[in-house]
Amino acid sequence: MLTRGAGTHKNNKGAALIYVVIVLAVIMVFSALVANYVISNLQQSKYQERVLQAYYLSASGSDLCLAALLQQGVGGANDTLLFTQFNPSITSPAPLTDTLYLDGGLVDLTISATTRDGERWIVIESEATLNQSGVSQTTFLEFLYSNPLVQNKR
């Protein structure tokens, strides 16, 4: 029978615990990194959603403004806001402004006229601001006075 001497005996009882603690620490660090990554992606996607909401609110404001400009009164085609404010006989029409309170935010509208290549263009600038977040987006709708179906959106 072999017997060990007093100086040759090793005590390995605590080594497994140290390895387990190191592995758990590494797992916790990776878990924290993954959680941080997920949270930042969620925040970014929420912000992108608010930007899209503001964009569509702004585009809706432009469309409502165009419909209001083209709405005929009892006088027919010459009884529209477009004709009374921006017809070509008015050399320097003053810009019109309005604010729409729509579901989710408000839309500030500015309607102005410009001349390009001898043709009158109407420019609708629509800036929407969401109620809770304050995120805003601006869109522009330009159309030809003589044919409102000819449009540029940006």
Within-domain flag for 96:
yes
Q: How confident is the model at residue 3 (pLDDT cuts 50, 70, 90)?
A: low
Count how many domains the chain has.
1
Q: How confident is the model at residue 1 (pLDDT cuts 50, 70, 90)?
A: low
Q: What is the pLDDT of residue 42?
A: 96
CA within 13 Å, CB half, 49: 8
Q: What is the DSSP letter of 92?
A: S
- How far is the CA of 141 from the CAs of 60, 62, 125, 127, 148, in angstroms? 11, 7, 7, 11, 11
Within-domain flag for 50:
yes
Q: What is the pLDDT of residue 125?
A: 97
Within-domain flag for 9:
no
Within-domain flag for 5:
no
Token pair belonging to 105: 């935010």
| pLDDT exceeds 80 at position 73 | no
Within-domain flag for 101:
yes
| pLDDT exceeds 80 at position 12 | no
| Distance from C-alpha of 131 to C-alpha of 5, rounded to nearest angstrom | 81
Within-domain flag for 10:
no
For 126-148, the pLDDT digits (tens) are 999 999 888 999 999 999 999 99
Three-state DSSP at 11 gives coil
For 23-31, what is the mean pLDDT? Answer: 96
- Answer positive or negative: Cα dihedral of 106, 111, 123, 77: positive
Within-domain flag for 129:
yes
DSSP letter string, 94-146: PPEEEEEEETTEEEEEEEEEEEETTEEEEEEEEEEEETTT--EEEEEEEEETT
| Distance from C-alpha of 114 to C-alpha of 149, rounded to nearest angstrom | 17
| Distance from C-alpha of 145 to C-alpha of 151, rounded to nearest angstrom | 10
Instruction: Domain of residue 31: give its range.
Output: 16-153
| Distance from C-alpha of 128 to C-alpha of 30, rounded to nearest angstrom | 41
Share of the chain above pLDDT 90, in %: 68
